[in-house]
């Protein structure tokens, strides 16, 4: 997934330089060389290099994307990854900050909400510089399923997923989903919308079952979209995992909510004015995320 993200960032020329880093000898170098050799075919000028565990090569990065960690296997939940991936993400964060102390850090490693919270607590960075990427991907899947059901271009569909980035914690906001401004409920029955919502929530697990590992094309493109809004200061509203301090009724937690994304990272949380049922589900999602965060204390 990290390589796909780098590939999209590179050919869309979102950065002057992209550096891939991996602990497997020669792997990042090989991926970077392969991507670079498409430059004459795709017409980009971005410099891309790879390195084996040499964080000095990443010095002075404006944006860092952490995809490190074990991938999901069939039947494995994101939560089951927490013990191993917490140590990996913490180590990566510490090494990154030695060379890029002002970087905006994006966390993709699973369980994403907990890894984002861990990064926030251990990095010492301002909260706006720590962003978890999950809701953008989940929303893309939500739009995809809606597009198939409506037989409509996904570009004409506006739909958002908030809450935790988990099979049981994400919240597709069906009430607010529209097709060119018209609520999708005008076109689809409640039963079909429930089916789409359920499919969205297990979208990652569905692909893991089919592929034997986590997806990479859509997640990579989702991260690249987030990077673009930062480096081009687009001020796009995107559902991202960020630190909450009373917003949506929650504190001391990182969860997916709509935020404005620009050159400073996440700049503002947008209040979608959830109705009572939605807020209740959001609160239950928060409880589940907190239970995973509590595991971090047992790892010290």
Q: Are strands 265-269 and 161-163 parallel, antiparallel or unpaired?
A: unpaired
Q: Which three-class secondary structure state does DSSP give residue 237?
A: strand
Single out the catalytic residue among 99, 158, 165, 186: 165
111 prior amide bond cis, ω within 30: yes
Distance CA 18, CA 3 (A): 11
- pLDDT tens-place string over residues 162-199: 999 999 999 999 999 999 999 999 999 999 999 999 99
Distance CA 78, CA 110 (A): 6
Q: Residue 126 gets which letter from DSSP?
A: -
Q: Which of 65, 53, 52, 54 is nearest to 18 (CA)?
A: 65
At 255 the pLDDT is 98
* pTM for the predicted model, two decimal places: 0.95
Residues in Cβ contact with 106 at an 8 Å cutoff, skipping those fewer than 6 apart: 63, 64, 65, 66, 131, 132, 133, 223, 226, 227
Which residues of the chain register pLDDT less than 70? 72-73, 76-80, 300
Is 165 tagged catalytic?
Answer: yes
**Alpha helices of the chain — where are they, by DSSP H?**
2-11, 27-36, 39-42, 82-99, 112-123, 135-150, 190-201, 203-211, 217-231, 276-299
CA angle 23, 224, 169 (to 5 degrees): 85
């Amino acid at each position: 997934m990290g390589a796909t993200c780098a590939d999209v960032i590179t050919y869309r020329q979102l950065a002057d330089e992209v550096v891939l880093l991996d602990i497997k000898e020669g792997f990042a170098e090989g991926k970077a060389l392969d991507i670079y050799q498409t430059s004459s075919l795709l017409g980009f000028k971005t410099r891309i290099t790879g390195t084996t565990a040499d964080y000095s090569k990443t010095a002075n990065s404006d944006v860092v994307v952490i995809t490190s960690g074990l991938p999901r296997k069939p039947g494995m939940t994101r939560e089951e990854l927490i013990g191993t991936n917490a140590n990996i993400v913490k180590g990566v964060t510490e090494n990154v900050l030695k060379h890029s102390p002002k970087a905006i850090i994006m966390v993709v490693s699973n369980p994403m909400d907990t890894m984002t919270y861990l990064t926030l607590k251990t990095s010492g960075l301002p909260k706006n510089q720590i962003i978890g990427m999950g809701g953008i991907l989940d929303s893309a899947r939500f739009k995809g399923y809606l597009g198939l059901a409506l037989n409509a271009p996904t570009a004409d569909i506006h739909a958002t997923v908030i809450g935790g980035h988990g099979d049981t914690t994400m919240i597709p906001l069906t009430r607010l989903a529209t097709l060119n401004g018209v609520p999708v409920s005008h076109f689809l029955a409640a039963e079909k919308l429930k089916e789409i919502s359920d499919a969205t929530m297990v979208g990652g697990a569905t692909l893991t079952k089919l592929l034997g590992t986590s997806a990479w094309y859509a997640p990579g493109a989702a991260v690249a979209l987030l990077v673009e809004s930062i480096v081009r200061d687009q001020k796009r509203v995107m559902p991202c995992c960020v630190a909450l301090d009373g917003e949506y009724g929650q504190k001391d937690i990182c969860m997916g909510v709509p935020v404005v994304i620009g050159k400073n990272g996440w700049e503002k949380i947008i209040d979608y004015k959830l109705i009572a049922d939605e807020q209740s589900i959001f609160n239950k999602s928060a409880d589940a995320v907190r239970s995973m965060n509590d595991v971090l204390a047992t790892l010290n």
